[in-house]
Amino acid sequence: MKGSIFYLMKEFKRSLSFYRKAFAVNPKNRDAYRMKLYLEKKFKISSKG
């Protein structure tokens, strides 16, 4: 939820942080995974960084 909230507030890097945490806790969370990939690609951030 926090990832979505920060995304809507256009705080994309904070949003990515929460999507990464959500995916780390639950690797089956497809929405978190998709948003994590989208934001990493949009800002050219590696999966590790």
For residue 13, CA distances in Å to 5, 19, 46 come to 12, 10, 13
Task: Report the interhelical angle of 12-25 vs 30-42 (nearest 10°).
Answer: 140
**What single letter denotes the amino acid at residue 24?**
A
User: Going by C-beta distance under 8 Å and a sequence separation of 6 or more, which residues neighbour residue 20?
Assistant: 32, 36
Q: What is the pLDDT of residue 49?
A: 47
Residue 11 has pLDDT above 70, yes or no: yes
- Region 6-29: mean pLDDT is 96
pLDDT bin (cut points 50, 70, 90) of residue 48 is: low
Please give the model's pTM, rounded to 2 decimal places.
0.86
Residue 14 near residue 22 (C-beta atoms within 8 A):
no
